[in-house]
Amino acid sequence: MGKPTGFMEFDRRDEDNRPADSRIGDWDEFIVEHDEKELRSQGARCMDCGVPFCHTGEVVQRMATGCPVNNLIPEWNHLVYQGKWEEALQRLHHTNNFPEFTGRVCPAPCEGSCVLGINEPPVTIKSIERTIVDRGFENGWVVPRMPKQRSGKRVAVIGSGPAGLACADQLNQAGHLVTVFERDDRIGGLLMYGIPNMKLDKGIVQRRLDLLAKEGVEFRTGVNVGVDLSAEEIQDRFDATVICVGATKPRDLKIPGRSLTGIHFAMDYLRGSTSFLLSQHGEPINAAGKDVVVIGGGDTGTDCIGTAIRQGCRSVTNLEIVNRPPDQRAGSNPWPQWPLVFRTDYGHAEAKAKFGADPRLFATETIEFVGDSDWNLTGLKIGKVDWSKERPGVAPFSPVEGSEEVVNAQLVFLALGFLGPEQVISEAFGLETDPRSNILANEDDHETSKLGIFTAGDCRRGQSLVVWAIREGRNAAIACHKYLTSPVPA
């Protein structure tokens, strides 16, 4: 695969981004595509490694490695190296329903498991993936695929995030009549309202939704199943149901001062910002002229930083309870695991460009929210923690004496992850849940405790990546199709 000596001839070149100090003035995507020659050179670096790990999607010591949807990465890298872009697109779509999404928002566990990455910078898999599918749309290679025949079976998919859309796509192509229900006013779930425009332009999402609609998938927005439409009505009208509602119950930080005005969950902030950008209606939470603190790292925290900067915040600080990751893999984090190393994401780079410093404070806990006499947030009392000294039964760290200080803040965004799905759906359908409140179903058949009802995505496995949601949706579709086409017992 690739050029036999390509990894020795060409250095890794990461995708270009628009300059941080200029892109913060708009909401356009910040990625700049490589030219044809450079992309083919990057594809040439995909060495003939014999036993590739990039496409495995295996779990090694409780950590996922490689691509969860088993993308045929060496194959389409080789085709890009040869300049066969349309063939590369065919191989890419063979395993991934939405490479334009994963090529933008996935952290690329495939690159963390690249064999070349053992002792050299890995192949730029993610940027090649994104370019393949974007060129496919630009050149008219991505066209509606109409099912050859219809089964007459009707399937309800509840939730239109990546898991629901992948499941709907697969079931529709299998010939079933699929209706996707979404409680929001637009289809897309996390893709539409949970990820800011500068990282995933909503036109990119909409062009795929338009394609699915042309292929026969029916979308119904503004329908909150379990509230507006009962579980009984769904079961009466459809032959099977697949629940893909995500894990949308946010983790809170219940410390003194939590009731002060100015403290918001990150997803409420991001949703309101994107909704206003798309419709110009409503009053989003606005960081203009304010000192902003984002509690929690990860993609959601970074997205809050980038959004606040574009709104014109006065300052932004990002608090992370964990220690600063090492610059290189630790001995306890061997290949092919995802490398737990220090990274600077787009929001961090933008904060540094605007304010002169990386916004992150590591090994820092929030002790108390501070406010004025009118119950408005004015700051946070924070302190350093020592991870080498745990408090048995309390926390795996101890506070560092004398490190307490108060930082100014009129807005705080909690980006602390999610506890699981809201319980409206599971209660409406009478489904069993696991100890973490996820809908109970195994990974083999995705079938819930009720016959003919399946589940996939974050509401089954817990908060995870878009690429895992796509895999879950595809697998649930296989199980649902098998159920719909199996002979009825006598």
pTM to 2 decimal places: 0.96
Please check whether residue 41 is in contact with residue 8, taking contact to mean a CB–CB distance below 8 angstroms: no
pLDDT of residue 488: 62
Q: CA 174 → CA 71, 242, 288, 451, 478, distances in Å? A: 21, 15, 49, 20, 9
| Structural domains present in the chain | 6-138 (1.10.1060.10), 154-248+419-485 (3.50.50.60), 252-416 (3.50.50.60)
Mean pLDDT, the chain, whole residue set: 95
How far apart CA 125 and CA 111 sit, in angstroms, is 6
Structure tokens, 210:
């338009």
Q: What is the dihedral of CA 206, 210, 216, 220, to 10 degrees?
A: 50
**DSSP H helices in 243-336:** 266-279, 298-311
pLDDT of residue 490: 42
Query: Concatenated DSSP letters for 86-123?
Result: HHHHHHHHHH-S-HHHHHHH---HHHHT-GGGGTSPPP
Low-confidence residues in the chain, pLDDT < 70? 1, 488-490
